Amino acid sequence: MSAAQSPSATPLIRLAAVTKVYGTGQAELLALKGIDLSINAGEFVAIMGPSGSGKSTAMNILGCLDTPTGGQYLFHGAHVEALTRDQRARLRRRFLGFVFQGFNLLARTSAQENVELPLLYRGDSAEVRRAAASRALASVGLTGWEEHTPAELSGGQQQRVAIARAIVTQPAVLLADEPTGNLDSQRSVEIMELLQGLNEAHGITVLMVTHEPDMAAYARRLVHFVDGHIASDEANASPTRPLAATTRSH
């Protein structure tokens, strides 16, 4: 049904026997106990599991924000575990977009400027930034809200600004750690539909952590974490569809 799902020879993302240890000595904690995971370009993956099972730890490694203690992480064929801090920053800047549970928008800063921020670090010109940010805000349905600051926006709107900020660089992968954790169910559904749309219409690979089955149901692949292991990894044959789209496809 979707062109983006066609299997490619080398996966976009490959974790091989990845482990993560926090702390040392007595306080040592094995948060990831050997993770093997391959994700192809264009997938929409939901990572689920109980609290403390290592979902965020895995996401931070996938997002190149953190490095594994052991094992290998290949992104686009490059060994991320061997990269320096700055090299990982450049990789994030170029290929990755982040959506956080707590939005993390700059206070007292307009939606437009928040969305432009990643482009500033890429060195884009003012016109390019403005145009790209307007487009990104339009694609999350916030045209007309450009000049509003986070304080003047609802939680759902703030998360949509954050999504616009994540996609403004046209990243290969969008990583979202509990993006609906701070939202009510109606707002959550809107965010999920947005992520699904970005995945299907723009071919952005979406990796999302959630512990709500309703939200995970929008993804096409479900990965379950238990106690630092992957307990199950299965395709979701019938992802939840927006009402309108369901009606149209039948």
Partner 1 sequence: MLLNTLFIALRSIRRNLLRSFLTILGIVIGVAAVITMVTLGNGATQAVQLKIASLGSNLLMVRPGQRQGPGGAGGGSVPSFKEADAEAILTQIGGVATVAPEGRSSVTVIANGRNWATTVTGSSNAWFQTGNWTLAAGRPFTDDEQVSGAAVCVIGETVRRELYGGAAGSQGLGEQLRIKQFSCTVIGILASKGQAGMGNDQDDTVLVPLHTLQRRVTGNRIVATLLVAMQDGADSAPIKNALTQLLRERRKLGDGDDDNFNVLDTQQLAETLSGTTQVMTALLGAVAAVSLLVGGIGIMNIMLVSVTERTREIGLRLAIGALEREVLLQFLIEAVVLSALGGVAGIVIATVASILLSSIMGIPYLFDPAINLLSLAFSAGIGVIFGYFPARRAAQLDPIEALRHE
Ligand X SMILES: Nc1ncnc2c1ncn2[C@@H]1O[C@H](COP(=O)(O)OP(=O)(O)O)[C@@H](O)[C@H]1O
CB 176 within 8 A of CB 118: no
**Nearest-approach distance from CB 69 to ligand X, in angstroms:** 12
Residue type, 48: M
By rule CB under 8 A, what string of x and - marks binding of each residue 54-73 to partner 1? Answer: ------x--x-xx-------
Site membership for Mg ion, residue 56 (CB under 5 A):
yes
Structure tokens at 183: 């939202």
Nearer to Mg ion, 52 or 141 (CB): 52
- Closest contact distance (angstroms) between CB of 224 and ligand X is 11
Q: Whose CA is closest to 226, among 34, 42, 52, 29? A: 52
Residue 127 contacts partner 1 per CB under 8 A = no
How far, in Å, CA of 137 to CA of 167, rounded? 10
Give the interface segment with Mg ion, choosing from 48-56, 107-115, 158-166, 229-237 (CB under 5 A): 48-56
Site string for ligand X, 30-59 (x = CB under 6 A): -x-----------------x-xxxxxxx--
231 lies in the site for ligand X, by CB under 6 A: no
Q: Residue 124 corresponds to which amino acid?
A: D
Using rule CB under 6 A, residue 110 touches ligand X? no
Phi-psi region of 107 (alpha: psi -120 to 50; beta: other; left: phi over 0): beta
By the rule CB under 8 A, 100 interacts with partner 1: yes
Six token digits for residue 145:
């809200």
- Residue 224 to residue 29: CA distance in whole angstroms: 20
Give the separation between CA 149 and CA 97, rounded to whole angstroms.
21
How many residues touch partner 1 (CB under 8 A)?
26
Residue 219: how many other CB atoms lie within 10 Å: 26
Shortest distance, position 105 Cβ to partner 1, whole Å = 8
Taking contact as CB under 5 A, which single stretch among the options 7-15, 51-59, 137-145, 199-207 is the one that binds Mg ion? Answer: 51-59
The two tokens of residue 161 are 């600004």
Kindly list the residues in this chain that would bind partner 1 in the complex (CB under 8 A).
60, 63, 65-66, 85-86, 89-90, 92-94, 96, 98, 100, 104, 106, 108-109, 113, 117-118, 120-123, 165
